[in-house]
Chain A
């Protein structure tokens, strides 16, 4: 209390003093101020001291001294305002102090106040007569409230008294207060994403901020810095962290789809812990991902930590050097803000289920029937008039299975037994953000707990994130920041191949399709005994259960980064900074394959007999891997200055050195006693140690320089270049320049289209080197060790030493040349904005080996050389409509992006003929082509087969009605490899699009994101192409097949169906790659739907809660596509269906700030 009190009267005494103690003032709580005011009033009447004094020509100085002596009251005044040498005459006898002071100062231009035991003396006009003088304005206390465009309070808004350094920021209720503001002062109110406003100070102010016209004032993160969007010349898109956090996704990558045009996506699994989409920019290949200046993975970040995500698509990424040859995705995390600490809490809980249902498998009746049919079909194919072959299931049994009523003839739905429909997902995130001018902080923690769909709960993912970003302003010129972040990831899954594999293995999904529905999950329905199935050692229920063991993978990542920035004196706008980053990650995984048995039940003896034993003996494989960036050093000089009023120049000089390390090994032991799953308890005999990831290092170094110049923000230019070194080419660095230019046409005087507020043309050109796909140490020729091993004596292997491939010391970067042209526009004050970019990238010197140049008898194993070429072209269009209709706010932002890669020159084997060159070559044609036959329907009868061109190489004798007919492309009367042609475009979409819509009405907000893709194909394969593939069960849709009217009578007439007839081992003819099995993958998916409601201010009053928002969020809610049985977005199983589907998620959440 005393502290507050003194602060206050010091403030009255002196402006200068006040400025010194401003930080203290600013942290004062409003409540304290109010309290103080009350005391002030009380103190004004609490004095009661008398003075006795009589003198002539006493100076004020002497008087004050005497007053102090007699009353014990201090007398305060300011030297330069109170002339204490003035003499007066006084005569007081036990006069109250008040009276004494009044009389003494009556002839002086002075006045006084008495506070508690202090007398404060000031010039008269200051205390009593604020309106009397114009030179020193009056002071007022300002109480303010800042609202957003929807009338919601805005916390964290910075309020500065213009022309001073006095500032504050709004609290969690959007309120602020400033004491003793000059009445005519102007308050400057600013907030990220909003237009700054200036407003005259008055006691009560309410400020409504208007969102920024993004096109003009936004600041965009670029390589090693930031730039105003208005003067940007590169192809850059940005999304805010707020938007990213809206999707209830576990993996940041998945939240970006549809939001950032030019970023291409494919999510290949929905399994907890491995559900991240693969992302690349413009179809170029894997992009550099950067978090706060450090090249690192972004997928497992806490979405609530993200301030913004920026994608550099063209030469703008070139400053990062060859690592960013395919562009860069830059994540900036949140940093502290000046103001009181704001605590934010975000919690949601969701339910996940398959976005596209797993296709139904045959039930027992269908299965035994189809199995018999397949056996009859193959037998009758070999011997059309022969007797019925040995059938897998007797006709009587088939009837029993179809009826399904007799005991022991009940069908098992394995899929339903293993998978549930919905599994929970919980995410919580807590952060505290605040700071002063000197120290700002952002500290957060996040927690994610995701369950998989296995009923056995053996598939889960947990993640714990923390981050601490602290910024210091040490002096006017010196700044520092220290950021630490880390996370723990824990993935639990069934062991071995896990839930999915490429198919055919013993993974859970494969086990489900391989196990016949005629087997029961438990022997004699006794849950203590897993039943044996047709596949030895496999029972899907057991495979998914904890009794089969587990795969438990823990990953810990620590990232630390320190920056010191120094504003160099004497040169305005020149800053030097040093940044050092360190990252360490450790992966520790345990694969525990526990032995378990499968039984059958013998009713005669009542015994459960072991039919087979899986995972025998029990083994534990423990894998440890360390990776990371032991050092990443960045030294830079930055310059930013405006010459005159119009010439704005920024510059950058940079040195970066990066090393990465990795090292790992695994140990495996067998367990004779497997009650405990600890490595040290295993048998040391037959222990296996594998160095899966032997020690390896990479090193990179580069110097970069960049100059940006703009004239009146109208003519824009950027020149940059980087001199790069890679460990793969230590003998030669390379210089790679980058140039871009922009012209803001709308700023020209001749441009007179009033509704167009912004029109900018951008062009860029860059050389983009890359060392990807080059092997290390190509420049060395030597002998590889170890290379195989051989036993010259029993029990003792000798490691081999083998001649390596030839060295190519001339090997160097592949070099891309990237052109980008773009147009940005804004209309009706930003109601409609848009950007259109076209690009073309040509790459030469891609690595390839010239094997084919030398006859094979030379045995030459040539090294990589810079040989191949390719090019990629495409466009992106992004539009945004943003408008308020009263209380109703609407944003619509559609985007579309197209990219296609073509091969240029490719090293192909010299073709034997023009035809084989045409069919087999890859040069100068679209990359990613799938080849096969063109299906022209199905044979309707034997006559058609007999008269058709030979297409099976065996006189069409193997063909049957219903089989697929192929087109004889070259018309030579025979259908063979020469009749194959390009029939599909690969599985990665060339066209991707998105539509993001947000609606706001009073407390409600709705955000809907559609995303989709086109220009790619799904090629059904294996299980989805071939019924009873590999002796497994099959999908129900295959029952719509060509078959005999009576399947047990091959001479009965054929009944047509959608699919060819079923035959054991599959039909060579029908399993060819053909258009019959190819479908366009085009889809449109409701990616995210987010509906929120914020409680009104009045409701929250007095709760201590600044804001509260409840929301419902849905992810992947529905999909429109022509693709059946598969998720077109998820083609991990290569069209086999053995995948973990992408999940749809329904979640309910709550955001709170305090």
Chain B
């Protein structure tokens, strides 16, 4: 029995030594609440998280950080999305929500805690102001979508606070945004001198946001209508005040002299192209606020989604500019931008080189859009270095088309494929409109437009926009001379004839051209409340080049004619007025929220 006793004792010992500590593991990715505010680098990391969470490209997804691509421009008259699944809806307001009260809670938490953080007083003050800027940015992103939203400025505690915070009026939200920005404008430095000026909130970033936000508020007051007790819409009486605020904020930036239009290249088209696809934002005077990227993990896929057919890797082709946008670009002599496709008798004009159709266009056109025979990746690129667009071949009175890229017409040395190597096509993946987007794309010959390989700086606020905002506010206030000065600065840099007088329509037109694909058009159409007029069963158009066949002639010596047709396989576009405001989620615990009209 003694032995047994020993054995039992041994077992008991082993078992009793197995405390539950055995299952107490240490987390590998969680640090404690006190540690988060106890060192400068921790607070810095908190700030990094806030900036990174302001959505893809600061909530407007211009650069396609997300997947699959989705650009506001493809919902407007600027362009269409090429993929078959992009054509399903004829509803312009695709809509993309922005209701991140989770980030708001964390910002409010930070604003409450950072004054006690274990960092210098200077940093405390600055981080506090930056957090308030970001909070204002968040509210602006919401008010432009939903109208008035609940304004939350502290962390709500269940059981203590009323959690069912109702929507404020749209005006209250704009005023909150303006007020918050005013409070940080005087705290934030004009510059930090550590290379971070372009990528975090400075005094001028706050001004730039204020300028844009007040412009939106003024437009809503001027052109919208007040509904559901002001939850959406702003009384018309407030318009002037907001125009003035937008004007003043713009003026503060202009008068600071800290910024200017980018003029790094003597060639206006090359200059305008360079403005957008540099990686070094620090030396670009035009950039007020931007998002920086770097390989490998902080990169996006805009090139991957948008490279033309023969240059792409897998996807590509996504944004197809419309003839509507192309014709917005004037000729450098200031004449309207209508394409000279047919002569006065309605007969097609033959062009030896398809690119000649665009001769004399606004240099910004050449920097923003790829067109038939446009040079592209021409610097030593083995793939040909130009865009070849051909819808088919005209033989006598017949038009021959074939979607099979390998099929040719003609014989021997004169044989040529029916389609250009970049399209346009009806059923394939290539462009549907005869154009590709060029703005933002990287043209370097060594660049491979693969997934997550784009790292050019993404511009959020630039001086050009400030001038246009300023001009719009000025003209709405009746101050045409301020407007004219600003618009002519833009046109001068663009390399197009200056105006001698300016109208509201011209200001808007300049905006459309200068900021094509920059995510402005979608919001402009909404805030001016003209979207339902622009899109009313409206077809969009494509430009199809055709080779005019001559027997026994090298295709290089034949000429092209063009036909403008409705984009094939794409429905017309209609904007439903109720979608001027997005629908608010009123499910579950949010059922107390007042829904917007029309939903």
Chain A residues proximal to chain B, CB less than 8 Å: 371, 375, 378-379, 382, 389-394, 397, 408, 506, 516, 518-520, 523, 531-532, 534-538, 566, 568-571, 574, 576, 600-605, 610-614, 616-617, 635, 637, 655, 657, 659, 686-688, 694-701, 703, 725-727, 730, 733, 776-777, 780-804, 851-861, 909-910, 912, 1030-1031, 1064-1066, 1068
* A604 adjacent to B15 (CB under 8 Å): no
Is the pair B33, A783 in contact by a Cβ cutoff of 8 Å?
yes
Q: B7 to A408, Cβ gap below 8 A? A: no
**Contact indicator B569/A858 (Cβ below 8 Å):** no
- Bound together, the chains give a CA A393 to CA B401 distance in angstroms of 7
Which segment, of B348-356, B366-374, B402-410, B467-475, faces chain A? B402-410
Residues of B within 8 A of A726 (CB): 23
Contacts of A783 in B (CB 8 A): 30-33, 35-36, 46
Q: Does B1 contact A (CB under 8 A)?
A: yes
Report Cα–Cα, A785/B39, bound state, in Å.
14
Q: Mark B275-312, 1 if CB is under 8 A from A, else 0.
A: 00001111000000001111111100000000001101
Query: B45 near A800 (CB under 8 angstroms)?
Result: yes
Judging by beta carbons under 8 Å apart, are B426 and A375 in contact?
Answer: yes
Known: A781-B33, A785-B45, A910-B591. A700 touches B102 (CB 8 A): no
Instruction: Mark each residue of chain B from 564 to 599: 1 if its CB lies under 8 Å from any CB of chain A, else 0.
Output: 010011011000000000000111111111000000
Can you give 26 A-B contacts (C-beta < 8 A)?
A390-B401, A391-B401, A394-B400, A519-B406, A534-B405, A536-B312, A536-B314, A569-B4, A570-B4, A604-B412, A610-B383, A612-B312, A726-B23, A727-B23, A782-B27, A784-B29, A795-B292, A800-B48, A800-B50, A802-B53, A802-B106, A851-B588, A857-B152, A858-B105, A858-B163, A860-B105
Contacts of A535 in B (CB 8 A): 429
**A657 and B569 contact, CB distance less than 8 A:** no
- Structural contact, B29 and A568, CB atoms closer than 8 A: no
Q: Which of B191-199, B204-212, B213-221, B230-238 contacts A (4 or more CB under 8 A)?
A: B191-199
* Separation of A657 and B590 alpha carbons in the complex (Å): 46
Q: How far is the CB of B114 from chain A (nearest CB, A)?
A: 13
Are A687 and B421 closer than 8 Å at their CB atoms? Answer: no
Pick the residue among A518, A782, A797, A858 that contacts B30 (CB under 8 A): A782
Interface 9-residue window, one of B82-90, B337-345, B435-443, B501-509: B82-90
The answer for the CA separation of A833 and B389 in the assembled complex, in Å, is: 77
A601 contacts B28, C-beta separation under 8 Å: no
B residues in contact with A531, CB < 8 Å: 406
Q: Which of B18-48 contact A (CB under 8 A)?
A: 18, 20, 22-25, 27-33, 35-36, 42, 44-48
A859 engages B103 (CB within 8 Å): yes
Nearest opposing residue in chain A for B554, CB measure: A604
Tell me the complex Cα distance, A803–B49, Å. Answer: 9
Considering only CB atoms, which chain B residue lies closest to A534 in the complex? Answer: B428
Among A566, A725, A733, the one with the most B-chain Cβ atoms within 10 Å of its Cβ is: A725
Asked if A791 contacts B296 (CB within 8 A), the reply is no
CB contact between A1031 and one of B102, B294, B427 (< 8 Å): that residue: B427
Assuming A519-B406, A801-B31, A1031-B428, is B294 touching A795 (CB within 8 A)? yes
In the complex, what's the smallest C-beta–C-beta distance from A75 to chain B, in angstroms?
Answer: 47
Q: In angstroms, how far is the closest chain B Cβ from the Cβ of A598?
A: 10
Interchain CB contact (< 8 A) of B194 among A784, A793, A859: A793
B165 and A857 within 8 A (CB)? yes
Bound CA–CA A931/B35 (angstroms): 48
Bound Cα distance from A612 to B428, whole angstroms: 15
A588 to B45, CA, bound (A): 34
Given contacts A788-B53, A792-B200, A802-B106, contact A730 B298 (CB under 8 A): no
A1065 with B84, Cβ < 8 A, contacts A393-B402, A801-B46 known = yes
A532 close to B316 (CB less than 8 A): no
B536 at the interface (CB under 8 A from A): no
Interface string of B243-281 (1 = CB under 8 A from A): 000000000000000000000000000000000000111
Q: State whether B101 touches A730 (Cβ < 8 A).
A: no
A858 lies within 8 A of B158 (CB): yes
Does B180 count as interface, using CB distance less than 8 angstroms?
A: no
Shortest distance from the beta carbon of B454 to any chain A beta carbon, whole Å: 13
* Number of B residues with CB within 8 Å of any CB on chain A: 121
Q: Looking at the assembled complex, report how far the CB atom of B83 sits from the nearest CB atom of chain A, in whole angstroms.
A: 8
Q: Does B414 contact A (CB under 8 A)?
A: yes
Interface residues of B in 359-379 (CB under 8 A from A): none
CB distance from B457 to the nearest CB of A (A): 8
Q: Closest CB of chain B to A510's CB: distance in Å?
A: 12
Q: Which residues of A contact B53 (CB under 8 A)?
A: 788, 800, 802
In the bound complex, what is the Cα–Cα distance between A1031 and B84 (angstroms)? 6
A910 touching B589, Cβ below 8 Å: yes
For residue A687, which residues in chain B have a CB less than 8 angstroms away from its CB?
296
Closest to B54 in A: A790
Shortest Cβ distance from residue A998 to the other chain B in the assembled complex, whole angstroms:
47
- Contact B589–A604 (Cβ < 8 Å): no
| A214 → B minimal CB distance (Å) | 37
Q: List residues of B (305-335) whose CB comes within 8 Å of A's CBs.
A: 309-310, 312-314, 316
Q: How far is the CA of A253 from the CA of B215 in the complex (A)?
A: 66
Q: For A804, what are the chain B residues with a Cβ–Cβ distance below 8 Å?
A: 30
Q: Tell yes or no: B72 within 8 A of A by CB.
A: no
Q: Are B292 and A794 in touch, CB under 8 angstroms?
A: yes
Interface residues of B, Cβ cutoff 8 Å to A:
1, 3-4, 7, 11, 14-15, 18, 20, 22-25, 27-33, 35-36, 42, 44-53, 83-85, 87-88, 99-106, 109, 150, 152, 155-156, 158, 163-165, 194-196, 199-200, 279-282, 291-298, 309-310, 312-314, 316, 382-383, 391, 400-408, 411-417, 421, 425-429, 448, 450, 457, 544, 565, 568-569, 571-572, 585-593
Q: Name A504's closest neighbour in chain B (CB-CB).
A: B85
- Report the nearest B residue to A794, measured CB to CB: B292
Can you list the 4 inter-chain pairs with the closest CB atoms, starting with the nearest?
Answer: A800-B49, A859-B105, A909-B588, A801-B45
Q: Measured between C-beta atoms, what is the minimum distance from B585 to chain A in Å?
A: 7
* With known contacts A570-B4, A600-B405, A799-B45, A782–B428 Cβ distance under 8 A: no
Chain A residues contacting B417 (CB-CB under 8 Å) are: 600
Given the contacts A783-B33, A783-B35, A856-B101, A1065 and B85 also touching, CB distance less than 8 Å: yes
Does B20 contact A701, Cβ atoms closer than 8 Å?
yes
B408:A787 contact, CB within 8 angstroms: no
User: Residue on A with the closest CB to B411?
Assistant: A603
Is B591 in contact with A393, judged by CB distance below 8 angstroms?
no
CA of A799 to CA of B45, assembled, Å: 6
Q: Provide the bound-state CA to CA distance between A518 and B405, in Å.
A: 10
CA distance A733 to B83 in the complex (A): 55
| Chain B residues in 8 Å Cβ range of A851 | 588
Contacts of B3 in A (CB 8 A): 568-570
The chain B residue with its CB closest to the CB of A733 is: B20
List, in ascending order, chain A residues with CB within 8 A of B87's CB: 1064-1065
User: With A and B bound together, what is the CA distance between A780 and B4 in angstroms?
Assistant: 44
A603-B412, A776-B27, A909-B588 as given contacts; A793 in contact with B292, CB under 8 Å: yes
A855 touches B569 (CB 8 A): no
Query: Given that A389-B568, A536-B429, A794-B282 are known contacts, is A799 also in contact with B589, CB under 8 Å in the complex?
Result: no
Interchain nearest-CB distance for B177 vs A (Å): 17
Known contacts A390-B568, A727-B24, A859-B101, A793 near B29 by CB under 8 Å: no
Taking a contact as CB atoms under 8 Å apart, the answer to whether B587 and A912 are in contact is yes
Distance A257 CA – B525 CA, assembled complex (angstroms): 61
Closest CB in chain A relative to B148 CB, distance in Å: 13
Closest chain B residue to A687, Cβ basis: B296
Please measure, in the bound complex, the distance between the C-alpha atom of A733 and the C-alpha atom of B313, giving whole angstroms: 54
Report the minimum CB–CB distance from A1135 to chain B (whole Å). 18
| B427 adjacent to A800 (CB under 8 Å) | no
Are B52 and A789 in touch, CB under 8 angstroms?
yes
**Complex: A881 Cα to B395 Cα, angstroms:** 81
- Given the interface contacts A730-B24, A782-B30, does A520 sit within 8 Å of B406 by beta carbon? yes
Complex CA–CA separation, A523 to B1 (angstroms): 89
User: Is B296 a contact of A390 with CB atoms below 8 Å?
Assistant: no
Taking CB as reference atom, which chain A residue is nearest B33? A782
Return A769 CB to nearest CB of chain B, in Å. Answer: 14
Closest B residue by C-beta to A1032 = B84
